[in-house]
Amino acid sequence: MQNEKVSVIVPLYNSRLTITETILSLVGQTYQNLEIILVDDGSTDNTANIVKEFTAEYSNIKYFWKENGGVGAARNYGIDRATGGYIALCDHDDLWMPDKLEKQMKLFTNDRIGLVYNGCRTVKVVDGVEESIAVTMTYYSGNCFDQLLRFNCIPTCSAVIPRRVINRTGGFHESIDMHGVDDKHLWLRIAHDYDVVALKEILSIRRVTGRNWSMNEAKMLRSAINCLDDIKSMYCNASNSHLFDMAYYEAYSHYAGNLFLIDDFLEARQAYLRAIAFNRKQKLNYLRVIATYLPVTVIRVVRGLRIRLIGQSTKYISGA
């Protein structure tokens, strides 16, 4: 697929601090047949002025402004205006390695492939200082709906999808109830009907700031459960219902651990209790519930010892 046009969809919102680096990483791709669709989701800063300097210089960069509607709506808006046969995704603070697209496009070898993704390094940005906090360690390929149901290992900034696949499965979920996991919802719909190919190489960088939705654990838990509820209504049957139970268990356990770590003990307790409802055999969660009643001073000692009582999962992540 070396000659196919790729449309890169970039949703923007108050992106003045990061968008220049992001655009430069896109125009610097060794894969040349691409267009860059920038969708400004109602920014109130000078994002537009920065972007217009690039549209004046590069004929393959297109800029659109729309009323604020969330990242899922912005991505769909860009997809609707894309002219390429393939859709690639990149957020306004993400970066691509120069050969990312070139390597990915070589992997679309048949019509059964619905998505190709690569590894990603996640960087936390605080006051302009970057700190690497995660790197893709798990890769799923082939018929991987069951695995993705329990763990989303596909970073949004790594995904490339044939336009015909999106036309068939539909685009991103736009509801605020699915905000933060709209990517996982789409991956699952694609993986249910198509194969997924993993390029096991770190070719993207995801930058996380305090503004990221994914930093709000309580909201992310609610979104994760809404995603599972909706996918369950579409695909659950007698033969795979146990997989959904484990997916709910892992979602509640993960976010319970995160909530515990930020001292939101009530929410953590409720999440642990929900996890127990889906998996009563994991006895450690009973101890974790008890831990939410302990004095804060004792809890901090427990954290310092880094024992398994907290049980924060580092595996259950979103690509957003």
Per-residue pLDDT tens digits for 129-148: 777 778 999 999 999 999 99
Contact at 8 Å (CB) between 79 and 87?
Answer: yes
Domains with residue ranges and CATH for the chain: 6-214 (3.90.550.10), 216-305 (1.25.40)
pLDDT of 312 > 60? The answer is: no
Q: Which helix (H) or strand (E) holds 192?
A: helix 182-193
Strands 129-135 vs 160-162: parallel, antiparallel or unpaired = unpaired
CA angle, 176 as apex, 174 and 275 as ends, to 5°? 115
Is this prediction's pTM over 0.75?
yes
Average pLDDT over residues 210-214: 53
Q: Which helix (H) or strand (E) holds 65?
A: strand 61-65
Contact at 8 Å (CB) between 172 and 183?
Answer: yes
Nearest by Cα to 149 from 207, 216, 234, 267: 234
Which residue(s) pair with 124 in the sheet?
Answer: 131, 208
Contact at 8 Å (CB) between 93 and 15?
Answer: yes
Residue 87 CB-half CA count within 13 A:
24
248-306 pLDDT, tens digit per residue, is 999 999 999 999 988 899 999 999 999 999 999 888 899 999 989 998 888 777 766 65
218-242 pLDDT, tens digit per residue, is 999 999 999 999 999 999 999 999 9
